[in-house]
Structures are given as structure tokens and as C-alpha cells.
Amino acid sequence: MAEIKSAIELAMEKTKALHLSREEMKKLKEEEMKSKAHSLVNRFLEVDFHLKEVEKELLKFTPDERKQLEKLMRQYLSEAIRLDRDNDLIFQGIETLREESTPLNRQIQQLIKKYRQQKEKAYGESEENLLTNWEKQGISGSAVQAKVEGSQEWEKALSRFKPAFEKQLRVLQEELKK
């Protein structure tokens, strides 16, 4: 079976007569590590790769490279956290790569929970306001249902609280990257 070669190995083969400086080699190695970490994170988040497989893949690297990859993966995973998505897999990955992140993960989960509660409350209020406005215009009945998403009422409601939650999330994500 053919051996899979890294980008650096392929580049070195094609440029045997050329010599890269130490800085250029270091930069190429950093780019390769970033690419590898990004690839592992993407495969993990797409449920294409289980945590055990990620750990096996990390064991192929030297301790220094592994440490660098784990740090990059934590950064990419923390950047993937969103208020409006299921983040359980992300938290699982972060905790595997950095066990002491559990308290910070819980803080983020609490923030997301508060956001979702606020969002649910705002949704109900927006729906009620839309139905009330329609009723004033003579539109009512059991068949009338408000399409809240996409309405100006809903966009205004979200704009009142979502930016503050996003700001708090960014602060916690930065802490998580460390």
C-alpha cells in the first residue's frame, strides 16, 4: 500500500535543489499543524471520527507536536460554540483535550441555557404581539398562526438581548482557548 506523505515531504521532494531557511521550515510546519488540527476537528464535529480515533491520531505525533495540536484543536472547538446550536459534542471534545476546562464549559452551558430561555420568552411575546396586531386589523381565528421567525417583531426582540449573550460567549471562548 502506498504511503501517505505530508505536504512538507512532497514540497521537499519537488524542491530538492532548493533549501528552505529555518524560519520557512518552521512556518511550513506550523501551517501543517494548523491544517491537521482543523481537519481533525472537522472530522470529529461531523461525527466522522470518534474521540478514541482522534486520540489514536494524536499519538502518531511527538509530545511537542501533540501538545501543539491539542491546543489548536481546543481553539477550533471553542470557536465552533454557538448560542443556537447543540454544542454537546464540542464540550465533550474540549473536556477530553483539557480536563480542567469543565468549570468553564459549565459556565458556557449556563449562558446558553439562559439565552435559550430568554429567546423562548421573547418568541412567545413576539407571537402574541403579532396575533394581537392582526386581530386589531380584523384577522383572527383558530387557523391564524403567526410566523414569528423572519418577522420584524422577532428581529427587534432578538436584537435587544442576543448581542449581550454573544459578547459574553466570546469572552468565555477566549478564556477556553488559553
Q: Which residue has the cell 491544517?
A: 35
Give the angle subtended at the CA of 81 by the CAs of 77 and 87, to the nearest 5°: 95
The better pLDDT of the pair 3, 49 is held by 49
What's the pLDDT tens digit per position in 16-58? 656 667 787 888 888 988 999 998 899 888 877 787 888 888 8
| 127 and 159 Cβ atoms separated by less than 8 Å | no
What's the pLDDT tens digit per position in 82-135? 999 999 999 988 888 887 778 888 999 999 999 999 999 999 999 998 888 888
Tell me the whole-structure pTM to 2 decimals. 0.75
| 43 and 93 Cβ atoms separated by less than 8 Å | no
To 10 degrees, what angle do helices 51-58 and 88-97 make? 30
| 134 and 144 Cβ atoms separated by less than 8 Å | yes
How far is the CA of 153 from the CAs of 129, 150, 159, in angstroms?
8, 8, 10
